[in-house]
Each structure stands twice: as C-alpha cells, then as structure tokens.
Structure 1
Amino acid sequence: MNAPRPRRSAMYVPAINQRAIEKSRSLEMDAVIFDLEDAVAPEMKPQARAQLVEAFAAGGFGHRETVIRVNAVDTDDFEQDLDAVARCQPHAVLLPKVSRPEDLEALSGRLAAHGLPASVLAWAMVETVDALADLDAIVTAGRSRRSRLDCLVVGTNDIAKETGVDPGEQRRYLIPWLMNVVLVARRHRICVLDGVWNDFSDRDGFDAEARQSVKMAFDGKTLIHPSQVEPANNIFSPSPHAVAKARSIAAAFERPENAGKGVINLDGKMVERLHLEQAQRLLEIQAAIAARG
C-alpha cells in the first residue's frame, strides 16, 4: 500500500453542478469525487467535462484528494472522459462497473496512452455481481506491474439493485460481501471505502452505519451531502485511546532490549511485530490528519 493518506470522507460531487464544485473547495473532506457518470445526464456530459477542466485550471482544492469518476470502459463516453482527465490531472480516476480483470488493465493502458503519469492512481467501484464473484482476480490484475490500483469503493446501492438483496436491517444480508471486499483490499494492501448512506437527513442512521464501517475495517466512507463530512471525519479518525496504545507499542519496540525481537511483553500482553506495523500506520494517519490542522 502507498504511504498512508487519510480517506475518512470521500464526497461525490456532480460534475454538472457548478455550485457544488465551488463549495467543495471549502468543505473538509479528505477526498472529493467529481462524478461524470451517474450524476450527469447523457446530454449534459460534454458540459460537465468542460466545467471540470475549468475548475481544475482554477485550482483551490487544497489538501483534498481529487478524484474523477469516469464512465465505464464499454461506453462511448469513456475516451472523452479520459481526454478531460488528461487536462485536469487529478490525483486519481474512479472506474465504475468494474466486472472483470480486463477492465482495470484497460484503464491503466488508456491512462498511459493519454499521457497521464503513474502518480495518477486508479480507484475501482465494486458494485456488480461479477465484481463480487471474482474480486480477487480483478484486484490481482489491477495490482500488476503497470497497475495504478490504489483503492476499492463499494457501491452498495448498485449491489442491492443487481442482487435484489435487501440493504436494510444494518445491512445484515450484505455483510458477507462487504467483508469479502475488505478482505481482498487487505490482502492486496490497498484502501477500501464503504458505500453511501442515502438518507442525509438521518444523522443518527449515518453515524450508526459509519461506526459499523469502522468495525468492519473500512478506511472511510463515501458521502453524498456536506452534512456528512464532519461526522465521517470524526468517526473514522483514530481515537485518543488507539493513538496512545499505538505510541506505547512503537516506544516498546524502540527499547534496546527489544531490538530484533518478534514478540514482546507489554503490560502483561503479548505484542508482535505485526502489531507494530499496525501501530506505525495508525500513527502515520494520525500525523497526516494533525498536519491539516
């Protein structure tokens, strides 16, 4: 996985909505996903692309990771979207409807063909039944030698639609699939973001689902409304207790008597090198959050 970067909150912003684009410069989300796909009607896509190019030329997005969601690889809009991406130079490109290994290979190839540097990463939506059924193979292809894949994004609405599975009751019937997405992300050491909470007027419901996401080991949550940014940042930030514990683990392994040890005794508990790696990553995330003030 690349150097840890906070992705607690990633808000979708319709690329056709000029006012929303402007507002995204002042919101404290970690990432902003400018959407050229579902949020833009077919006849409005050329205008949306032009607005994005103008917005990126103007800049002002600060610390926010900029991501552009393009249309699927098998659509007529895909190449035109990448033309706009090449002019915008975002941090990442989010590919929807990923269903087979060839989709991510095609994205990497086309990004290179459009002259985009390797620093422009690939994010992939997990929202089709094919992706759920063959996710490890898809991510393996996406993490190949020329790969840019750095993040998986769950599309819970599309998963529920394609499968017919009821997304209610704390997502109890979706959880096996969601946990598999997390498992694959961890196996390949990439980031994974949970899907959206649709009812932005229901703050309690959002908070409950975000806390569930933390327990499921998601790195953050995708959002659809500015009111969701602050609670997402708060819920997905390392707690003071977790930070203190991580610091104690790191400090313990730095002691001369523990040099080279794989396992140590810390306050009566067994702590392994894998716990040190987890602690170091958490502290790096916390430091990056703190650096933003």
Structure 2
Amino acid sequence: MTFGMGPALLFCPADRPDRFEKAAERADAVILDLEDGVDPAARADAREALRASSLAPERTIVRVNPADTADFAHDLDAVRATGYRTLMLAKTERADQVERLAGFRVVALCETAKGIMVAERLAQMSLVVALMWGAEDLVASLGGSGSRRPDGRYRDVAAHARARVLLAAGSAGKAAIDAVHLDIDDRTGLEVEVEDAAASGFAATACIHPSQVPVIRDGYRPTPAQIADATALLDAAAGHTGAFRYDGRMVDTPVLRHAEHVVRRAHAG
C-alpha cells in the first residue's frame, strides 16, 4: 500500500486557517475540508485560505466538493495553486469523476449508495491511493435517519458498507480509511471502533477533533504484549517449514502473516 499517511487523519475546515498549523502538529495528516465542514457562503474564502497555506504536502489531504457540483472546478483551481497533490473526492460515485483528477493522488470517499456499489471499480483505478467510507451521507442517500443503533453500534447497512470498502481497497492493494466517530465525548466507543479497524486491516481512521487523535494512535499501535507474542511466534517459525504447533495452537501461513502485520504496525508507530 502506498498511502503513507496515518493512522490519525484530522479534518480541519478550510475556512479556519488559524487551525491549520495546530491540526498539523497534532495529527499524522490533515484533511483540509472544502466541502461539508464549510458553509457554502464561506467556500470562496476557504479556497483563498487554502491558496495561502503552506502545510507539508506529504501530510496534507484536501477534500474537494463532489465532481458534479459547481464548487468542484473552483476547488481544483485553488488546489492547483498549492503544492498539495492528494485529494479526497467527496461522494465519489463514478470512475469518470476520478478521471477528472489526473495528476493527483485520489482518496475516493464512498459515502452514498452508488459510491459503495462501485467501490471495487474505484479501487482498481491507478489514480486512487485509498478508499474511505462515510456513514451519515450513506444513510441519508438511502432515505434513512441514522447510521447507528441506540447502543451506538452501526446499523447493518453501515457495517456492510464499511466491510465492502475495506474489501474493495484490500483487493486492489490500496489503503482503506475508516469513517469518523461523530460523538466526540464517546472515547470508549471510539476505542472499540479503532481497535476493530486496526485488527481488520484499515490503514487509518479519520477524526473531527484533536482529542480523538491519541485514541486513534493508541488503537493502531500494538501493545507490548502483542508485539512480544508476535515476535516470539515469528522467531519460532524460523525453525519450521510448513504448519507447526506453537503454544498449544496450529500455526500456518495466515497466522504468520497476522504476526508480521503486528510487528509492522509497531515499527510504523
């Protein structure tokens, strides 16, 4: 996977240049948002603030408005005046929309029913470096009223979309980014989701508040016990060919790959 950002990606409204540097200092990468995070009346100002900004391009993503909107062309004009070359395309639904972003690295944001249904096709495109999914816009596109159950768990349709985007990205060797957790005060809920995201194979999780960054980082970072267990297992495998018994369980290639991923995440952190 060539995404190279993460695990904590912090959204920052592009009309708040006073927050740009702070966001960059606190997160692994910043998503400067020209779409939902900005009032439509303030988008022209947001684009000017984007042009004047100077964050590190390798740690900056710009979310642009959907390709079929009037704002899209204006957003691209603003981005082209900067050094930023990784774009997040809001409400990606078709391959031809991505093709309009030639010259950029694209994070395809699948957050509508149409977007989820073409995730596999989008992941195969050379411009696309990662897929992300969004729960609230997805449910809105279906005519629903909420992505979560009363206990905070995702409804089945949202969980299905999440899994489909992860599988689509993985099938193409691309990174998958997990959706934001909107309840800023729900640290426990975020911890559970991040642990599941890291264990399932997501490369990063997006967030909307700086307080969520350390929770995400901790969730993607293996514990010392996990690192020790994975290292010991890989050391034991050095003396074996094929499947073998270790610590009361059968170890084969998939189990070794799990251990390798744990060690890799530890080194990345």
Looking at structure 2, the residues matched to 14 and 172 of structure 1 have their Cα atoms a distance apart, in angstroms, of: 28
Unaligned runs of 5+ in 1: 113-119
CA deviation profile, 1:117-161 (whole Å, cap 9, x unmatched): xxx521111101111223212322x2xxxx131211111110121
* Aligned counterpart, 2:97: 103
Residues 278/206 of structure 1: CA separation in 2 closer, same or farther (3 Å cut): closer
TM-score by length of 1: 0.79
**Partners of 2:259 and 2:105 in 1: CA distance:** 26
In the TM superposition, what are the counterparts of 1:80-119 in structure 2 within 5 Å? 80-90=74-84, 92-107=86-101, 109=102, 112=103
User: For each residue in 1:27-66, what CA deviation from the matched residue of structure 2 results, as whole angstroms up to 9, or x when unmatched?
Assistant: 1x2221000111223332232122122222xx4x59x721
Instruction: Give the secondary-structure state (helix, strand or coil) at the position aligned to 1:171.
Output: coil
Secondary structure of the corresponding residue to residue 251 of structure 2: strand
State how far apart, in whole Å, the 2-side matches of 1:79 and 1:263 are.
56
By how many angstroms is 1:86 displaced?
2.7
Matched, 1:51 2:45: no
Letter in 1 for 2:115: A
Q: Give a deviation string over 1:217-242, Cα, whole Å, max 9, x none.
A: 43332111111111111122222233
Percent same amino acid at aligned positions? 28
Contact 2:112–2:139 (CA<8 Å) still a contact in 1? no
Residue matched to 2:7: 8
Evaluate the alpha carbon distance shift between residue 266 and residue 70 of structure 1 in structure 2; reply closer, same or farther with a 3 A threshold: same
RMSD (Å), alpha carbons: 2.5
Q: 1:14: how far off?
A: 0.3
Q: How far is the alpha carbon of 1:12 from its aligned partner?
A: 0.6
Q: Say if 2:244 and 2:252, in contact at 8 Å, map to a contact too.
A: yes
Task: Measure the CA separation in 2 of the matches of 1:240 and 1:127.
Answer: 36
Aligned pair in 2 of structure 1 residues 185, 51: CA closer, same or farther (>3 Å)? Answer: same
Code of the aligned partner of 1:11: L
Equivalent in the alignment of 1:280: 260
Residue 116 of structure 1 corresponds to none
158 and 89 in structure 1: CA distance in 2 versus 1, 3 angstrom threshold: same
Residues 1:268 and 1:211: Cα distance change in structure 2 (over 3 Å): closer
How far apart, CA to CA, are the structure 1 residues paired with 2:225 and 2:97?
Answer: 42
**For the Cα contact (< 8 Å) 1:98–1:104, is it kept in 2?**
yes
> Partner residue of 2:204?
220
In the alignment of these two chains, the number of paired residues is 264
